[in-house]
Amino acid sequence: MTKTAPLPADLLIDPADEILIRQDLVLVALGKREADRLVQLGRVLDVHTGTWMDDCEVAIRGRRIAYVGPAGSFPGTARETIDRTHLAAVPGFGEVHKHIESSHLTPEHEAALVMPRGNTWTCEASHEFSNVNGPNNLEFWLTARRAGSPMKIFPLPGSAVPPTAYEGGGGHFGYAEQIGFLGESTMVAGLDEVMDWPAVWNPENPSYGRLWGMIQATFEKRGVVEGHGAGLRDLPSINAFAAAGLSSDHEAWTPEEAWDKLRHGIFIEVRPHSMPDIIKGLLERGLRDWSQVAFATDDRSASDTLKMGATDHNVRLAIESGLSPEIAYQCVSINPARHMRLTPFVGSIAPGRFADMVLLDKAATVSIAEVWADGEQVSEGKRFTGHLPAIDWPDWATKTVNVGRKLTAADFAVAAEPGRATMQAALLRPFHWDDNFITTELPVADGAVQRDSDRNITKFAVVDRYSGKGRVAKMFWLGCGPKTPDTAVGCTVAHDQHNIWVVGSSDAAMAEVVNRISQNQGGWALVTSGKVVADVHYEVGGLMTNRPAEALDAEMEALYAEANKIDWLYEPTFSPRWFPGFPERLQFATLTCAPWRWVLVAPTDAVPEGFVNVQTGESHKVVW
């Protein structure tokens, strides 16, 4: 037996180290070099064939698998033998498309939350933090892994940086930046979801050159270009989407849409809210080959993950929706790994891959006993037992809210023309996807246009938190925010540019919300009767907290408790995605991608009032 040699750290996939690692694994597999441990398992799911192997053993060297075979077949020795013959093993779950920022936890705390629930690797759709700090984007996503976190994060730099040509903030990505990211680290898997469809198809769109430059760079480096096809359901659009090289879509809502996109070569990433219908519909249509399907969490808060689960929830829901367990596990392992071209490293329990395994009491119900990652056990039940590095995030990650001054009620007033008793006003409502905005007549008092709570009309604003100029875009919105007098709520999670949004029944309360959020360097604030009654801290990037999920959840529960004392506006006819009560979903109502048209963004020189149609570039006054 040859002498055991020290291995590279093997935290990030370094091409030079990779050769040394694989040369070592060859000798271990042949029994010529000792394995670190031999794990004996009752059953192992071979996701390549969709079949189970009984009475198996897995030999591990360092963080990788060296050998898989029937019990007693390994030709070498191991320093340690571990008996798990009472458990079944499936590969570590992979997230094909996820915004870790939406858990509102930094990556090391995200790992501690989701790894006991089966997740061992994630393709991070990074346009959230990219828009906060583009230059340090890759460093942010690799820091936790470098510090020893067992979670593998494969970053996909954001195409939506900025989301449209009418926005700007902490990052700007084009050809040069994408070439740099792909050349800097093998962990970079490709390009995050291309969402600005008008900028893809229309050569006259001001973002056309920037987006196609990123696509070109990704093609040159053999990366994967992820798509976002919301609202693109007609066949010409589906064909154009696929022709552009946009390889996937996680926005399919119906079985018909998923089927049509599958038939045109688009990889479908099914999210839980549409999963029962889509799986049932694809089964009814006789889908035989599920290799072009994966499950995507996309956005899920830490509080929701604590309640419902992570990728384990997605697998469980798929099985309950009629999919066989074997195919369901393929949809969170080998399928996303193949799509992302990561199969040498993750996606299966096979030689050369990271030794990531989910050990199950019952495969059919996704009952997880243990999770292994990097060749070691990292959880017991729901308790994380792996390495949780203590990271002191630098100022570029924690000093990201720069309003530049203290705001006052006057910053949120909408001035009326002199001598007018009423003014015409443009109205939006959450998830307003119509071609035209709504108009109405509003009263004027003390030289300013007023809200009308009797008609569910309140005031919404977006505050620039990047330039330090304290710029505020404000207008009137329908059916959201507080009806309780002198009350406002706001947050720095405002997809996808992540300026500060605030909605309120008084201008003074709105100013107080923004000032508290600025002081906290991000998060939520709820103000009523001149007092901050609750706030939540997202001190990293204004998106995440460097604390355990349970601590964040407790803070959110305190916010919900205070919010339950407020009377919130609600219009049930607006959108099936909108629900009454605390308007938490307003953090998604600032999206500017397809299928949005008229939106409110932070003011720029080109759009000084911030009210713009992102499909056409047309701007409009908010009152006239």
| pLDDT tens-place string over residues 99-130 | 999 999 999 999 999 999 999 999 999 989 99
The per-residue pLDDT of the chain, averaged, comes to 96
74 three-class SS: coil
Q: What is the rounded CA–CA span in Å between residue 300 and residue 549?
A: 12
Task: Give φ, ψ of 418 to 5 degrees.
Answer: -55, 135
Q: Inform me whether the pLDDT recorded for 547 exceeds 80.
A: yes
Contact 235, 217 (CB under 8 A): no
Residue in the block written with tokens 């973002």: 207
pLDDT tens by residue, 450-462 = 999 999 999 999 9
The amino acid that residue 478 corresponds to is L
Please, which residues bridge with residue 593 across strands?
none
Q: Inform me whether the pLDDT recorded for 545 exceeds 90.
A: yes
Q: Inform me whether the pLDDT recorded for 572 exceeds 70.
A: no
The amino acid that residue 624 corresponds to is W
Please, which residues bridge with residue 82 across strands?
39
The amino acid that residue 97 corresponds to is H
pLDDT band for position 179 (cuts 50, 70, 90): very high
21 three-class SS: helix
Copy the structure tokens of residue 104. Answer: 């509102």
Q: What is the rounded CA–CA span in Å between residue 320 and residue 158?
A: 34
Q: Which helix (H) or strand (E) holds 216?
A: helix 208-220
pLDDT tens by residue, 215-230 = 999 999 999 999 999 9
Neighbours of 608 (CB within 10 A): 11
- Among residues of the chain, what percentage have pLDDT more than 70? 98
Count of residues making up the chain: 624
Residue in the block written with tokens 């035209």: 436
pLDDT tens by residue, 264-303 = 999 999 999 999 999 999 999 999 999 999 999 999 999 9
Confidence at residue 501, expressed as pLDDT on a 0 to 100 scale = 98
Which DSSP letter does residue 227 get?
A: E
Cis peptide before 595 (omega within 30 of 0): yes
Task: Give φ, ψ of 475 to 5 degrees.
Answer: -160, -175
3-state helix, strand, coil in the chain (%, to 5): 30, 30, 45
Which of 128, 134, 214 is closest to 171 using CA atoms?
A: 134
Q: What is the rounded CA–CA span in Å between residue 378 and residue 150?
A: 8
Strands (E), 130-205: 152-156, 190-194
Contact 142, 155 (CB under 8 A): yes
Copy the structure tokens of residue 166. Answer: 């009418």
Which DSSP letter does residue 482 get?
A: B
N-term to C-term CA, the chain:
85
- Cα–Cα distances in angstroms (integers) from residue 55 to residues 30, 70, 73, 87, 356, in the given order: 20, 6, 11, 10, 18
Exposed e or buried b for every residue in 249-264, given b needs 16+ CB within 10 A?
Answer: bbbbeebebbbbbbee
CA 554 to chain centre: 22
- Cα–Cα distances in angstroms (integers) from residue 176 to residues 65, 124, 130, 306, in the given order: 37, 20, 15, 40
Contact 93, 358 (CB under 8 A): yes
| Mean pLDDT within 493-497 | 95
Contact 613, 597 (CB under 8 A): yes
Residue in the block written with tokens 């529960």: 557
Which residues have C-beta within 8 Å of that of residue 134, sequence separation ≥ 6? 161, 170, 171, 172, 173, 177
The pTM (predicted TM-score) of the whole model is 0.95
Q: Inform me whether the pLDDT recorded for 579 exceeds 80.
A: no
Confidence at residue 605, expressed as pLDDT on a 0 to 100 scale = 87
Which of 268, 220, 209, 221 is closest to 242 using CA atoms?
A: 268
Confidence at residue 169, expressed as pLDDT on a 0 to 100 scale = 86
- Cα–Cα distances in angstroms (integers) from residue 467 to residues 16, 95, 470, 472, in the given order: 42, 34, 8, 12
Q: What is the rounded CA–CA span in Å between residue 43 and residue 90?
A: 9
Confidence at residue 594, expressed as pLDDT on a 0 to 100 scale = 82
Q: What is the rounded CA–CA span in Å between residue 186 and residue 426?
A: 48
Which ranges constitute the DSSP H helices of 263-366?
Answer: 275-284, 302-308, 311-320, 325-330, 334-339
Strands (E), 207-356: 224-227, 248-249, 267-270, 293-295
Which of 621, 299, 581 is closest to 430 using CA atoms?
A: 581
Copy the structure tokens of residue 34. Answer: 């000792």
Copy the structure tokens of residue 249. Answer: 């879509």
pLDDT tens by residue, 332-353 = 999 999 999 999 999 999 999 9
Please, which residues bridge with residue 57 across strands?
40, 69
Q: What is the rounded CA–CA span in Å between residue 502 and residue 409?
A: 13
5 versus 289: the higher-pLDDT residue is: 289
Neighbours of 73 (CB within 10 A): 12
Copy the structure tokens of residue 78. Answer: 């191991």
Copy the structure tokens of residue 338. Answer: 């193949």
Q: What is the rounded CA–CA span in Å between residue 332 and residue 320?
A: 16
Q: What is the rounded CA–CA span in Å between residue 303 and residue 247?
A: 31
Q: What is the rounded CA–CA span in Å between residue 79 and residue 561?
A: 53
Contact 260, 278 (CB under 8 A): no
Q: What is the rounded CA–CA span in Å between residue 494 and residue 338?
A: 32
- Among residues of the chain, what percentage have pLDDT more than 90? 95
Q: Inform me whether the pLDDT recorded for 578 exceeds 60.
A: no
Copy the structure tokens of residue 334. Answer: 């080998």
Which residues have C-beta within 8 Å of that of residue 568, sequence separation ≥ 6? 480, 481, 482, 483, 580, 581, 582, 583
Sign of the dihedral through C-alpha 493, 494, 495, 497: negative
Please, which residues bridge with residue 479 across strands?
none
